[in-house]
Amino acid sequence: MKKLLVLIACLLVCGASFAQKLSKISGKVVDEKAVVVPFAVIKLLSFPDTALVKRMATSLDGTYTFDEIKNGEYILSVSMVGYKNKKTAKFSVNQNLVLDAIAIETSTKQLKEVSISGKKPFIEHQIDKTVLNVENSINASGSTALEVLEKAPGVKIDRQNDQIKLNNKTGVMVMIDGKTSYLSGADVTTLLSNMSSEQIATIELITNPSAKYDAAGNAGIINIKLKRNKAFGTNGTVSFNGGQGFMPDSPSDLYRAGLNLNLNHRAGKWNIFGNGTVARKSNFNNTFLDRTTLSNGVASSLTQNFDRKNKGLGFQAKGGADYYASEKTVFGVMVDANTVNTTLTNFSNTNINAIQNGASNLSYILQDANSNSPASNLTANFNIKHDYNKDGKSLTFDADYSGFSNKKDENFLANYLNASGGATNQTNLRNNTDAKIDVYAAKTDFTWPLSKTLKIETGLKSSYVVTNNDFLSEQFLGGVWQNDLGKSNNFVYKENINAAYVNFSKEWKVWQIQLGLRAEQTHSNGNSVTDNKEVDRNYLSLFPTIFVNQKLNENNNIRYSFGRRVDRPNYQQLNPFVFYMDPLAVDQGNPYLKPQFTTHYEISYSYKETSLSLNYSDTRDMITQISKQDDATRIISVIRQNLGRFQNYSADLNVPVKIAKWWNVQNNVSVYYNKFEDGNIEGAAYNAGKVAINLYSSSSFTLPNNFVVEVSYWLDSPRISGVEQTTIYQGALNAGIQKSMMNKKLKLRLNMDDILLTNRWEGKLVYQNINMNVVNRYTSRRANFSVSYSFGNQNVKSARTRNTATDDIKNRAGGN
């Protein structure tokens, strides 16, 4: 009987437990516009004591589910950064329950902060870089990326040598969305001249990068960030721009036009993005130079005038996707393709006055030249990011491939005339250049915060480059085309760079310090197949960096930095080909060029938004371009050579001024001294130096009825760079106006560059037997009009940004 009672009691207990059914609660969290809110913290609280029962975060689609919930009465509490906290009304649970969407409201405080911040200035100085906010600039609209860079303080576009300079130093690494462009010289300027400002969000100027960045670029890094709508839902921007150039004694066909579309769709675990651009460009360039030669008692005076017009049509498309496998792990792919076909027509007139024993002998060379240059690039990227916890511990991996094809077909027809205009000779030449480049790269980065004030970063990277340049030069002789064996060549270059770095950073109340070390092992092989010349190099380089930040008080800050960087010769600088420009000018590479190394020191002081920085850099074996003249033949050769030492001293002052609520002014003054030394340039020592100054000022006027006006002016004094001297002041006055409509979704912009037509270059080369003066005019005055319309949801949390594996070599590929 006793056993029976025990059994009955057990059955009653078990029955009661089975009767206690567990339920499920689910729903989603949205904002005031019914857009889902991911990663919101949601708590299940018992009622009425509000004790915590369970806690979780909403998924990427804003949903949540609480499992195994006992019957009873509950409330939900929702919190999210940037939103007001919210609690639901009481609800009862006695079965599976799907609640209505919980709408949370954007915090008023955040909205006030956004409205107070207003429009960012075109130039913004941050602790480790200078940022150009291109996206909202009126004067940047309708321009190319190259023209926007020219308006940045400290940036110079050397149109003589197709180089970009930062703080009057060459060796700038150009990155696009965190990865380098793989082009150099004329090709990188061609790429940027084909890129519309409508595609650009910001441009970052980093003069002293940390060890995390590739060591390439002694002058620093220019990172161009393209626009990418990153809100949830579907959104985008479509824009059109057109412009007309105005230049004296130039062709009328100097118009440009472009159409750009950005699209983004983000829902659930997927973020899909893409953009496309089609653009037509046209430019005109006029170069005048005079020089002298002396050989065997014959003194010759040569004047040359070049008129070059180029135009082209380019296409660019970029697409990718991010897949959020979980709250901590993201996979991404990205493909970027672009192509451009540029045609160049060039007419040159050379006058030669040869004087011997007082007698003058005049002769002329008239040359017509044209070229067709199709170029294309395909880049693909695969990436992974994993966050271990909310403290910032993360691991990233990138794998990249880039393939390039650069071709050029050139034709030269030169007629030689005597003093009376009679024909004495004619040459007919044609060149065909075919360059193919394949780049493979992979990198991984690990960030490990040991505490709130202590962090370690480390990473590995490997890259492999193969470039094959085939150059065929032919002369039309005896009615047939014949191979010019002295010029035709095949050059193959291979390079492998393996790198590792570590960064250590620590924060105290007043001090912040970051110590870094990067090691790069380089193995390169350049093989001139036709000439049977091979140059093989294998070397290890170390690149330490030190950053110290001293916060004196809330408004005063001092920053100290030190770093070492390298610039390896780009692939075409190593190419020994002899490129024909006209009968008296050729261009030639140098396979024996060595890399240049730079040590950089900087101290900067900032008071609120005003800053002053002092810089010193010392470059050894500077890679530069010099001219070598043969007085007997009158032929001048442009060659690449290592110059012994280059020292740069500079001071940069940035002073923003708010004159009125509606008038903001950004001012920048840079003063620098460049000194160049070499024991032997073309048979003699070379020593030159000069102080120069750069001024920049921009005013922004906010007017009623959503009108904004911008006026800017920059000025450069005469200066020296290597063996080249700039002899005039250069500058440009730019102005623009913008009208916003339809709740600022539609923007109309009109602007004019170089209103006073003062942006031209004049200079000279005077050393050894070289005495040459140059004047270069280009299409600097241009009126631009643009219209853009943004559609879809533009106001929700943005997606991630990232760098990719190709960070140091893309800048060094490319053409002649």
| CATH classification at residue 396 | 2.40.170.20
Give the per-residue pLDDT at 160: 52
428 within domain boundaries: yes
Q: Do 597 and 685 fall into the same domain?
A: yes
Structural domain that includes position 87: 21-110
40 and 77 fall within a common domain: yes
Phi-psi map region of 634: left, alpha, beta (phi>0 left; psi -120 to 50 alpha): left
Q: How far is residue 371's CA from residue 804's CA, in Å, rounded to a whole number?
A: 35
The reply to whether 106 and 139 lie within a common domain is no
Exposed e or buried b for every residue in 172-189, given b needs 16+ CB within 10 A? bbbbbbbbbbbbbbbbbb
Please tell me whether residues 131 and 98 are part of one structural domain. Answer: no
Other CB atoms within a 10 A radius of the CB of residue 72 amount to 12
For residues 503 and 630, state if they share a domain.
yes
* Number of C-beta neighbours around residue 55 at 10 A: 12
Whether a cis peptide bond, with omega within 30° of 0, leads into 48 is: yes
4 belongs to a structural domain: no
- Specify whether 347 is located in the same domain as 247: yes
Cα distance between residue 197 and residue 243, in whole Å: 12
**Phi, psi (rounded to 5 degrees) for 633:** -95, -10
**Which tokens hold the place of 94?**
């006695």
Alpha helices in 540-621 (DSSP H): 571-574
pLDDT value at position 651? 95
pLDDT of residue 181: 56
Residue 792 has a pLDDT of 74
- Is 115 a member of any domain? no
Domain boundary (78, 110, 142) is at 110
Taking CA 221 as the corner, what is the angle to CA 217 and CA 222, rounded to the nearest 5 degrees?
A: 135
Q: Are 242 and 256 spatial neighbours (Cβ–Cβ below 8 Å)?
A: yes
Domain end point (choices 66, 89, 110): 110
**Per-residue confidence (pLDDT) for residue 816, from 0 to 100:** 33
Same domain, 622 and 725: yes
Cis peptide preceding 591, ω within 30 of 0: no
The confidence score (pLDDT) of residue 4 equals 41
Answer yes or no: do 369 and 498 share one domain. yes
Q: Specify which residues 386 forms β-bridges with.
A: 329, 395
| Same-domain pairing of 406 and 473 | yes
pLDDT at res. 785: 93
The identity of residue 755, as a single letter, is I
Which residues, 6 or more positions from 137, have their beta carbon under 8 angstroms from its beta carbon? 122, 148, 710
- For residue 487, the model assigns a pLDDT of 81
Task: Tell which of 63, 78, 110 closes a domain.
Answer: 110
pLDDT at position 8 is 39
Within a domain: 12: no
The HSE-up count of residue 475 (CA atoms within 13 Å, CB side) is: 11
Place of tokens 């303080």: 153
pTM, to two decimals: 0.73
Residue 485 lies in a domain: yes
Is residue 53 domain-resident? yes
**Does one domain contain both 567 and 645?**
yes
In a domain, 693, yes or no: yes
Q: Please indicate, yes or no, whether residues 54 and 180 belong to a single structural domain of this protein.
A: no
Say whether both 46 and 163 belong to one domain. no
Q: Give a yes or no: residue 16 inside a domain.
A: no
Q: How many domains does the chain have?
A: 2
The one-character DSSP state at 183 is B
Instruction: List the beta bridge partners of residue 492.
Output: 468, 527
Stretches in the chain below the pLDDT threshold 50: 1-19, 108-118, 182, 230-231, 795-802, 804, 807-811, 813-816
CATH code assigned at 89: 2.60.40.10
pLDDT score recorded for residue 799: 40
Q: CB neighbours of 6 closer than 8 A, spacing ≥ 6?
A: none
Instruction: State the burial class of residue 90 (Cβ atoms within 10 Å of its Cβ: 0-12, 13-18, 19+).
Output: exposed
558-561-567 Cα angle (round to 5): 150
With tokens 């329950």, the residue in question is: 97
